[in-house]
Amino acid sequence: MDTPIDPHAPVLAFRGVTLCFDPGRPVLDGVDWQVGPGERWAVLGANGSGKTSLLRLAGGWLFPTGGTVDVLGHRLGRVDVRTLRRRLGYASGALAAQMRPSVTGLEVVMAAKHAALETWWHTYDDTDRARAPTGSASGSSWPAR
């Protein structure tokens, strides 16, 4: 992951990307999309049109059924996405659905240090816990879904 990145290369490139959850029923089909350095995009569409799936692919949380996705010069499927995700930002209402219902605010903030959804994969110490305020005096869990 320490490979220098060409400052003119796209930060995100989808080439012929197809994503299927059910065989023969693509959520995304043949998507070509490129985001250059310094560009800002808004992804708009109707409910169920594939916006969240598109962003989950871009963040390395999903892998395409067909085509290729390159993120920061690294091809999904050929890079350790756990390392790559530490260089990305991803915020979505859909992210909460990926977490276990009993996760606490403290655990969410601490896991974010490693771009993870759970704290069990990494080691944390008292300094990490002190740096991860929950934003709540009670340290309560996320609201029920």
- Count of Cβ atoms closer than 10 Å to residue 135 Cβ: 9
Q: What are the tens digits of pLDDT across the range 33-45?
A: 999 999 999 999 9
Distance of CA 78 to the CA centre of its chain: 16
Q: Give the whole-angstrom CA distance, residue 47 versus residue 5.
A: 35
Name residue 69's amino acid.
V
Same domain, yes or no: 20 and 86 = yes
Name residue 19's amino acid.
L
Q: Give the whole-angstrom CA distance, residue 126 versus residue 77.
A: 35
Q: Give the whole-angstrom CA distance, residue 118 versus residue 95.
A: 12
Least reliable range by pLDDT among 17-21, 37-41, 51-55, 94-98: 94-98
Residue 97 has pLDDT above 90, yes or no: no
pLDDT, position 2? 56
In the three-class reduction of DSSP (H, G, I as helix; E, B as strand; rest coil), residue 16 is classed as strand
Residue 125: CA atoms inside 13 Å, Cβ hemisphere, count?
1
- Where among 42, 70, 91 does a domain terminate? 91
Least reliable range by pLDDT among 11-20, 32-41, 80-89: 80-89
Same domain, yes or no: 104 and 84 = no
Q: Give the whole-angstrom CA distance, residue 109 versus residue 111.
A: 6
pLDDT, position 62? 94
Average pLDDT in the chain: 84
Same domain, yes or no: 87 and 32 = yes
Same domain, yes or no: 105 and 60 = no
- Count of Cβ atoms closer than 10 Å to residue 142 Cβ: 15
Residue 144 has pLDDT above 70, yes or no: no
Q: Is residue 139 included in any domain, yes or no?
A: no
Same domain, yes or no: 56 and 118 = no
Same domain, yes or no: 27 and 60 = yes
